[in-house]
Every structure is written in structure tokens, then in C-alpha cells.
Amino acid sequence: MTHLDTPVSPIVLGAMSFGTLVDEDTSFALLDRFVERGGVWIDTADCYSFWASESGHGGASEAVLGRWFAARPGVRDRIRLSTKVGAEPLWPGSWPEHRAGLSPRAIHDAVSGSLDRLGIDTIDLLWLHQEDRAVPIEETVDGLAVLTGDGIVRRVGASNHPAWRIERARAHARTIGSIPIDAFQLNSTYLRVRPGTRPPGVIHRFGVMSDEQHDYAVENGLETWAYTPLLSGAYDNDAKPVPEEYDHPGSDRRLRVLTEIAADRGLERGQVVLAWQLARGIRPILGGSRLSQLDTAIDAASVILTEDERSRLDAAV
């Protein structure tokens, strides 16, 4: 499906809406194009997308991916699959108060369900979807250690966690000789929300990437992934206004610079955003529903910003 000379793309394909808002035929088309364009990482979760499903539970995204793997013999060898545990509602309508959580038993049961739906025997990267203060992080790490020790999970990461809990988790993993968390997944884009606010849909207290979380990741060699990097299309789609949480003078200045650089380079503003993130060592997750969106994002991965462009983008505050 892909040529040997096709460059590997650092863009992650987000499968959150597959099987719910994105039908199966479209999902398969996106997945096929992703592989053709050199894509490697696909990101999903056991709870996707419970809010859009008839049952009130997740699993639709993983099930679509499982059927795609089954229909494309050999593709699993070229794809790295990441999924998440901990945020599935215990019963319809119970989230966020009552969710699966991150106890060793909950993690084990969630992974078993994910493997069944995906039709695979190994998860390349398992994310802790959101922190669970009801469970000591050391117990969570003990549960992960069983899975990595058995070879069921190759790597572990954390989404929507504060840096201090990741540090505690990594310290415990070193103590017991298990594989430590080596990846962070957080909300990140070029614009910044007003202090005291969060982007739409981000209810997690530590879900928006802070300077501290990014610094911690860089200093400790953690891979960093960004969800909702393009503000759901608001950078380039006039029908999707920039959320009001970003409405402040700093955003005006950043949008002005972004617009200038995009015009000078003949690019969309969203492509400059993706190129800027990649230049900072952040792997963006694309959750689009059209082939054109996917192609535009993958094209952006080949854009190399100059030092002057990066300085102008960084300095606009």
C-alpha cells in the first residue's frame, strides 16, 4: 500500500470518531490513505466515542480498526497502534463521576477488551487516559508492569496528567524494574487560552500542555503528542470560529504572524501550526474526517520553518 521511497510521516491519525461520527467506509478510506502517505501511528481509546454512541459506551473506534486490520493482511506490521484506558464510563451517563479508572484490575480488564476489539495481541503504546486520584499511581504502575512484562504492551504513556505524577510513576517503575512512562499526550495548539480557562471539550485539570509539562518532557526524553492541534479546523475554516477561550490580544498578535507566514509560504495557517509543533518536537494528532484534510496535514510535515519564522511565531505573545 505504500512505496519504499515514501517518507515516514510523524503525523498521528486520531481515530476517535471512527464508527460513530465517521462511518466505516470513510474510516477505511482514511486509514488506507494514511498508510499510503507513510503514516505509522494510529491513536484511539477504549472509550471512543461513548458520547456519540447509541449504547453510551465506547469501543466503536477500536472495533472499526479491528475490522480494518482483518481486511488488510500485513498492514499491522507497518502500523503502530496506541490506545487508552481509564475513561470508559461504568454505565451509560456515568462519566466522569463513575469511570473505569486506573486500578490494576481495571487496566487488565480494559486491555483485554481492547485486544479483542482490535483483533491484535500486542499494543504498541498504552496510554493512561486521565489521572485517577482514587488509586495511588504506584499501584497503577504495578498493573502496567504486568502487561509490559508479559509483552502485551510495548510502551506506556500518560494523557491529561500533571508532571509530578508522571515523575512519581517513572520513579516507581525504575524501582521495580519495569518499563517507565515515556510519552505525554496533552491538548496543544499555537494559540493560548486566557488564564483560568480551558479549551472546549478539555475538562481535565491538567489536560492543556503547560510550559512545565513540556519542559519536563524535553528534559526527561518523553515523546510528546498533541491532541486538537488545529482547533477542529478553526485556523482555516471561516465556518468554525476560534473558540472564545482564545479571545484576547495575544491571540490577535499570534494570528497576525501566523497569517503572514502562511501567506508568504503559500500554506494554510493550520499547516504552519503543524510545522511549528513538529519543530518543537511535538507530534500532532489529526482527527479529521476527509481525505483532503489528511493530505494537507501530511504535506505540512515536510515544511521546514526558518529560524526567523520560528522566532517570529514564538515571540508573538
The model's pLDDT over 265-278, given as tens digits with 9 standing for 90+, comes to 999 999 999 999 99
Mean pLDDT, to the nearest integer, of 221-246? 95
Cα distances (Å, whole numbers) of residue 47 to 156, 158, 234, 309: 18, 15, 26, 39
pLDDT, average across residues 283-290: 94
Q: What is the pLDDT of residue 3?
A: 46
Residue 6 has pLDDT above 80, yes or no: no
Please give the residue range of the domain that contains residue 82.
12-246+269-305
Is there a domain that residue 48 lies in? yes
Give the active site residues: 48
Tell whether 173 is covered by a domain: yes
Query: Which pLDDT band holds residue 2 (cuts at 50, 70, 90)?
Result: very low
Residue 180 lies in a domain: yes
Domain count, the chain: 1
pLDDT of residue 201: 86
pLDDT in tens, 114-169: 999 999 999 999 999 999 999 999 999 999 999 999 999 999 999 999 999 999 99
Q: Is residue 137 part of a domain?
A: yes
CB-CB contact of 247 with 255 (8 Å): no
Residue 6 in any domain: the answer is: no
Please tell me which residue, 277 or 4, carries the higher pLDDT value: 277
CATH label of the domain that carries residue 138? 3.20.20.100
On whether residue 4 sits in a domain, the answer given is no
Phi and psi at residue 9, to the nearest 5°: -95, 135
Label residues 89-121 b or e (16+ Cβ within 10 Å = b): beeeeebeeebbbbbbebbbebbebbbebbebe
Q: Is residue 44 part of a domain?
A: yes
Arithmetic mean of pLDDT over the chain: 96
Q: Summarize pLDDT for 192-217 with one digit per residue, the tens.
A: 999 999 999 898 999 999 999 999 99
148 within a domain of the structure (yes/no): yes
pLDDT, average across residues 247-269 = 97
